[in-house]
């Protein structure tokens, strides 16, 4: 899922779907007619020119996150590549996000960031679409990405994205070339700009706060606070009016100074990660809305009438017996409160069932109350699932998110043990038949559980997970190098290196008792495959039960058939080793945005 927008307001909208087998742009009219706009690679994000004559696609052609830019004519499908040099990463906003607008309001300029000059940085460029000339407007000493232009198209707002919890905003004067720092501050703070109008820059920020609040930023003046609830305000949207989003359990509220509208599900993540950010389509808001027991669909929300209208039906082929999660809270070993989503299978009515702890990636991410095909397959196989938000997760404030910094395999492991203990307190869960699963950081967390808390688990499944923190830190993408010491650790410092080695699952591989399924892509540029290969070799030599699946490309599977086969293998693995019910048959093909 990713960014979409009106096409035009009288015609329809665009979105990314893997209905063709790999993420591609699709157009849908307001009447429901759809068609694909094919382009090379897996598309991660879209943006419209202001006149809607071209659709910008960010696409991963090689699977190595060296994103390329292409403009597509929505009428003919013709593709014009803008930036295609191999080995260079390009971004039109915060990585993996879908908020912001890379086009100037007058339609003349396109802004993007690139690592072409220095592989460890992102510089910001502006392309003049009238003559195809490009110029650098900010030379970076870190990751800098464009956010949006001023209403008169004379200034570009840029975000310095040092850490997920440490930002700064700058303006680039496109006439004089001067760069102005807008947000000098002490210590970590988030500055998540949502838009720029005649009033100033509206943003979500933690300046002086733990939770994100909504404020108006005008150069040379103190912040004007607009909304400061005791929860993270995940996005602010600027259009005909200013709207912000606030979570309410598993739903999202659209708020203005005068009104509040509850959407029929979850619809907002910071920076629009996973495509969850409402967008104005005329006077109404177009929102991607999900829930645990149904497909994620697009809705139109009318703040004036308080009504919403569902525009798509991506769940037409999904089973009818999807299970909605329950929001749960429990206490960790050190008194920290942990939240999670708990899925109870119908089979639990007949007696205690096995359970799988599934840990999200990031680690600065969250378990989302949206349809997850793997979780639902596990539930239909009679396996309960707990998806927790342990320390480091988003949505719980700045301090909670930063607890993971320089402590991978520390406090988070204590939280994960608390999750296992919580599952053992549930009468309908068989606490002796627990499994653990995760992808990316979640894979590291799962390996940490299997190696350092071996007595809890009967099976594990790990997808693209870091097994050796030292080698993974050394091989992280170049644009992450300036943040890694504060985030994970310093491999050049002997004391820090010893800590990383002690926290690495590979160090404790001999302690694994449970059968382990490993999967990793051969050209994963985020977590290199070497650690998983070494772990599999070690487990095999020790006579442990293990299986290794080599995936074709990318950090996480973007090919629909490969992802489906992987999910089936994971469910079968837990079925075989947790003595669950037979796994559900393969789902019908899904039109999945």
pLDDT (tens digit per residue) in 174-217? 999 999 999 999 999 999 999 999 999 999 999 999 999 999 99
DSSP H or E run through 247: strand 242-248
pLDDT for position 86 = 86
pLDDT for position 10 = 55
Q: Looking at the predicted structure, is the pLDDT value of residue 590 above 80? A: no
Q: Does residue 363 have a cis peptide bond before it, meaning omega lies within 30 degrees of 0?
A: yes
Buried (b) or exposed (e) across 501-524, using 16+ Cβ within 10 A? Answer: eebbbbbbbeebebbbbbbbbeeb
509 near 538, Cβ under 8 Å? yes
Q: Read off the pLDDT of residues 21-51 as tens digits, 9 standing for 90 and up.
A: 999 999 999 888 999 999 999 999 999 999 9
Predicted TM-score (pTM) of this structure? 0.93
Backbone angles phi, psi at 31, to 5 degrees: -85, -5
Higher pLDDT pick, 584 / 20: 20
353 near 383, Cβ under 8 Å? yes
202 near 214, Cβ under 8 Å? yes
Q: Cα separations (Å) of 583 from 198, 283, 374, 454, 568? A: 57, 46, 11, 25, 8
35: left (phi over 0), alpha (psi -120 to 50) or beta: beta
pLDDT for position 131 = 95
DSSP H or E run through 530: helix 530-541
Q: Looking at the predicted structure, is the pLDDT value of residue 6 above 50? A: no
Give dist(CA 370, CA 368) in Å, integer.
6
pLDDT for position 523 = 86
What is the mean pLDDT of the segment spanning 495-502? 96
Task: Read off the DSSP letter of residue 292.
Answer: T
109 near 126, Cβ under 8 Å? yes
Q: Which of 67, 104, 101, 97 is nearest to 82 (CA)?
A: 67
Q: Looking at the predicted structure, is the pLDDT value of residue 1 above 50? A: no
Q: What is the mean pLDDT of the chain?
A: 93
Pairing of strands 516-521, 459-463: parallel
Give dist(CA 178, CA 17) in Å, integer.
40
Give dist(CA 181, CA 193) in Å, integer.
14
Q: What percentage of the chain reaches a pLDDT higher than 70?
A: 96
pLDDT for position 525 = 86
Task: Read off the DSSP letter of residue 588.
Answer: P
Task: Read off the DSSP letter of residue 122.
Answer: B
Higher pLDDT pick, 555 / 495: 495
Buried (b) or exposed (e) across 66-95, using 16+ Cβ within 10 A? Answer: bbbbbbbebeeeebeebbeeeeebbbbbbb
Q: Looking at the predicted structure, is the pLDDT value of residue 584 above 70? A: no
pLDDT for position 3 = 36
Q: Read off the pLDDT of residues 279-301 as tens digits, 9 standing for 90 and up.
A: 999 999 999 999 999 999 999 99
pLDDT for position 241 = 96
Q: Read off the pLDDT of residues 70-113 as tens digits, 9 standing for 90 and up.
A: 999 999 999 999 988 888 999 999 999 999 999 999 999 999 99
Q: Which of 270, 265, 258 is nearest to 287 (CA)?
A: 265
Q: Looking at the predicted structure, is the pLDDT value of residue 4 above 60? A: no
Residue 241, classified by CB atoms within 10 Å of its CB into exposed (0-12), middle (13-18) or buried (19+), is middle
What is the mean pLDDT of the segment spanning 233-259? 96
**What SS3 string covers 35-49?**
EECCCCCEEEEEEEC
DSSP H or E run through 353: strand 353-359
370 near 291, Cβ under 8 Å? yes
Residue 335, classified by CB atoms within 10 Å of its CB into exposed (0-12), middle (13-18) or buried (19+), is exposed
Query: In the numeric block, which tokens belong to residue 485?
Result: 């010491």
Q: Looking at the predicted structure, is the pLDDT value of residue 587 above 50? A: no
Q: Looking at the predicted structure, is the pLDDT value of residue 63 above 90? A: no
pLDDT for position 524 = 87
Whose structure tokens read 């990751």?
Answer: 143
Task: Read off the DSSP letter of residue 241.
Answer: S
DSSP H or E run through 574: helix 560-578
Q: What percentage of the chain reaches a pLDDT higher than 90?
A: 86
Give dist(CA 242, CA 237) in Å, integer.
6
Q: Looking at the predicted structure, is the pLDDT value of residue 581 above 80? A: no
Query: In the numeric block, which tokens belong to residue 384?
Result: 């309960």
Task: Read off the DSSP letter of residue 340.
Answer: E
pLDDT for position 580 = 60
What is the mean pLDDT of the segment spanning 142-156? 97
Q: Looking at the predicted structure, is the pLDDT value of residue 333 above 80? A: no
């Amino acid at each position: 899922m990713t960014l979409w927008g009106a096409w035009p307001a009288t015609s329809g909208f665009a979105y990314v779907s893997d209905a063709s087998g790999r993420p591609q742009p699709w157009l849908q009219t307001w009447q429901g007619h759809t068609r694909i706009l094919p382009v090379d690679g897996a598309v991660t994000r879209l943006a419209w020119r202001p006149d809607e004559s071209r659709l910008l696609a960010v696409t991963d052609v090689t699977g190595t996150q060296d994103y390329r830019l292409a403009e597509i004519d929505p009428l003919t499908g013709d593709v014009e590549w803008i930036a295609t040099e191999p080995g260079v990463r390009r971004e039109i906003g915060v990585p993996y996000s879908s908020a912001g607008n890379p086009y100037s309001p007058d339609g003349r300029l396109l802004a993007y960031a690139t690592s072409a000059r220095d592989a460890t940085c992102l510089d910001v460029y502006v392309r003049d679409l009238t003559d195809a000339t490009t110029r650098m407007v900010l030379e970076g000493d870190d990751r800098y990405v464009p956010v949006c232009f001023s209403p008169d198209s004379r200034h570009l707002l840029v975000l310095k994205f040092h850490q997920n919890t440490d930002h700064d905003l700058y303006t680039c004067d496109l006439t004089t070339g001067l760069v102005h720092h807008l947000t000098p501050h002490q210590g970590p703070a988030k500055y998540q700009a949502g838009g720029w109008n005649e009033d100033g820059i509206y943003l979500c920020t933690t300046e002086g706060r733990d939770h994100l609040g909504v404020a108006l930023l005008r150069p040379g003046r103190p912040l004007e606070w607009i909304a400061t609830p005791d929860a993270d305000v995940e996005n602010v949207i600027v259009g005909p009016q200013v709207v912000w989003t606030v979570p309410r359990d598993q739903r999202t509220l659209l708020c203005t100074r005068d009104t509040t509208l509850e959407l029929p599900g979850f619809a907002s993540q910071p920076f629009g990660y996973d495509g969850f950010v409402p967008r104005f389509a005329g006077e109404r808001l177009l929102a991607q809305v999900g829930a645990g027991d149904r497909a994620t669909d697009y809705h139109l929300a009318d703040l004036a009438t308080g009504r919403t209208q569902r525009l798509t039906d991506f769940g037409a082929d999904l089973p009818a017996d999807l299970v909605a999660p329950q929001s749960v809270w429990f206490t960790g070993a050190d008194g920290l409160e942990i939240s999670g989503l708990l899925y109870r299978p119908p089979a639990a009515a007949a007696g205690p069932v096995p359970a799988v702890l599934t840990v999200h990636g990031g680690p600065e991410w969250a378990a989302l109350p949206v349809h997850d095909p793997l979780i639902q397959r596990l539930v239909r196989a009679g396996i309960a699932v707990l998806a927790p938000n342990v320390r480091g997760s988003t949505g719980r404030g700045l301090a909670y998110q930063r607890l993971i910094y320089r402590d991978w395999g520390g406090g988070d492991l204590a939280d994960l043990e608390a999750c296992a203990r919580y599952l053992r307190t549930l009468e309908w869960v068989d606490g002796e038949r627990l499994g653990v699963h995760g992808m990316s950081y979640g894979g590291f967390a799962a390996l940490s559980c299997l190696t350092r808390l071996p007595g809890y688990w009967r099976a594990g499944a790990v997808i693209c997970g870091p097994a050796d923190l030292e080698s993974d830190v050394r091989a992280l993408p170049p644009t992450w190098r300036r943040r890694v010491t504060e985030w994970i650790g310093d491999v050049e410092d002997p004391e820090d290196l010893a800590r990383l080695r002690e926290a690495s699952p590979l160090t404790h591989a001999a302690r694994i008792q449970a059968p382990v399924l490993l999967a990793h892509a051969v050209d994963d540029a985020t977590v290199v495959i070497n650690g998983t290969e070494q772990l599999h070799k070690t487990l095999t030599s020790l006579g442990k039960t293990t299986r290794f699946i080599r995936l074709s490309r990318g950090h996480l599977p973007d090919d629909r058939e490969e992802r489906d086969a992987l999910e089936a293998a994971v469910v079968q693995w837990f079925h075989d080793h947790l003595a669950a019910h037979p796994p559900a048959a393969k789902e019908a093909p899904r039109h999945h945005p």
